[in-house]
Every structure is written in C-alpha cells, then in structure tokens.
C-alpha cells in the first residue's frame, strides 16, 4: 500500500478532504505531515492541499513556500517523487519554484466557487486514467487562480506538452466564457519538466464520490497512487 504525505499548514482547509479521498475512498496509506517538519517520513507521493495557508498573507502560498516542510518537498521532487498541488497547493508550488509562472487574482476580482469543465490536454503520470482530451467536471474555489507567465514560458509549456488541464466548455471547446478566472491560455493545471509534479486549481478530492456530486476527479488521485507505487 503506497504511503502518501498530505501536508498541513496553518490555514489549510482541504487537507482533511484530501486525506479522506486518498485514504478512506481509494485505500492508500494517507497521513498528515505538519508544516514545521523537516522530514517527510519517506512517503511514496506528496500532496500539497488547498486552503488559505498562513491566511494568504503577503501573497497566496508565499509564506508556506518558505516553511521547513517545503525544503523536504523540493528534495523529494528533485528525486522524481510524484507531487500534486491542489489550488493553494498549486500556488505554493509556483512560489517554491517547483513550477513556473504564478497565480494572480481572478479577472473578476471575486472568489469563484462552482463547478467548471477542464480538458485533459496531454498524457502524463497524473492523467493516464483518462482518454486524451477527456472533459472533466470539477469544482473550483479560489480568489487567486488566474495563471500567468511570460510569453516565453507559455510557449515552452505549450510546446513541451506540459499544459495538463485547460478550462473549456462542457463540449470540450475553448471559450473565454468558460475560463472562470482569466488564466492565460485557459490553463487550469501544468506539470514540471519530468511530468512528476502537477499543480492544478480545480479540486479533484471533492469529486471522487458520486453521492457527493460526481467522480470525475477520481482518476487523477488514482493515477497519483499508481505513480506512488511506481516511484
């Protein structure tokens, strides 16, 4: 049974949801790791969950990126270990330098909490359970989710197939009206150069049980567990 570390920061509020999805629903050995820890405890994968780490003071994810546990996460990622950052976790990964770009305030300057559709753009360790260009219905809940990067970075991400998820309409078509936050290139998630670190704004952990509204996120977390087994 793979061991998955779920990080906890002051202000995290999706850590319990993530732990439940990975442990009770999908059967992995999910365990919490507090932000002050210098040692992850030899997990097979790491999840940086959503929430409002350190109250989003200074900038979303900025303070958490400098916490002791993130030094261990950087080392884990550099060894090729699978890392998933969800919402605030995506923000933390960009602030930590594990992923390029940044997450800025939504175009509408308001908190967005609703279901959106995203399209699986390229095969990766995290999307192996979906057909290419599959359209997923996933929840979002963020105020700073607008992905931004310079043009050279955007071209590199597109050219190297590192855009993992893109905001689309329910029929899979790219449409500015389907982009909930104004993300450049409608980017909802990206991977690092190895494809072993994924940052995404939608919440797959909230979409693993049909009784709670849908299970389109289940494949992402199952793929994380599979990647943990292979790591």
Q: Hey, which residues are catalytic here? A: 87, 203, 205
The C-alpha atoms of residue 207 and residue 18 are separated, in whole angstroms, by 10
Q: What share of the chain is helix, strand, coil (3-state, %, to 5)?
A: 30, 25, 40
Beta strand residue intervals within the chain, DSSP E = 3-8, 29-34, 45-48, 83-86, 102-104, 112-120, 135-142, 146-148, 163-168, 187-191, 197-200
Residue located via tokens 């900025």: 62
Question: Distance of CA 98 to CAs 87, 113, 116, 222, 225, Å?
Answer: 15, 26, 26, 22, 20
- Outline where 35-150 has alpha helix (H): 68-78, 88-95
CA–CA gap between residue 218 and residue 209 (Å, rounded): 8
Q: Do 225 and 26 form a contact (C-beta atoms < 8 A)?
A: yes
Residue 141: DSSP 8-state: E
HSE-up of residue 137 (Cα within 13 Å, Cβ side): 10
């Amino acid at each position: 049974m793979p061991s998955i570390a779920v990080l906890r920061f002051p202000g995290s509020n999706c850590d319990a949801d993530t732990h439940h999805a990975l442990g009770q629903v999908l059967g992995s050995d999910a365990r919490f790791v507090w932000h002050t820890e210098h040692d992850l405890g030899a997990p097979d994968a790491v999840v940086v969950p959503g929430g409002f780490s350190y109250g989003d003071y200074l900038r979303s994810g900025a303070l958490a990126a400098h916490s002791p546990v993130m030094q261990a996460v950087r080392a884990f990622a550099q060894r090729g270990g699978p890392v998933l950052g969800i919402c605030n976790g995506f923000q933390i990964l960009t602030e930590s330098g594990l992923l390029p770009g940044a997450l800025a305030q939504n175009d509408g300057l308001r908190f967005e909490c609703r279901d959106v559709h995203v399209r699986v753009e390229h095969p990766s360790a995290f999307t192996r359970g979906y057909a290419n260009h599959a359209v997923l219905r996933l929840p979002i809940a963020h105020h700073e989710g607008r992905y931004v990067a310079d043009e050279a970075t955007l071209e590199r991400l597109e050219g190297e197939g590192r855009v993992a998820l893109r905001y689309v309409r329910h029929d899979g078509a790219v449409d500015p009206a389907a982009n909930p936050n104004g993300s450049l290139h409608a980017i909802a998630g990206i991977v690092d150069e190895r494809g072993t670190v994924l940052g995404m704004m939608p919440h797959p952990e909230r979409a693993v049980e049909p009784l709670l509204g849908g299970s389109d996120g289940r494949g992402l977390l199952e793929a994380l567990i599979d990647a943990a087994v292979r790591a």
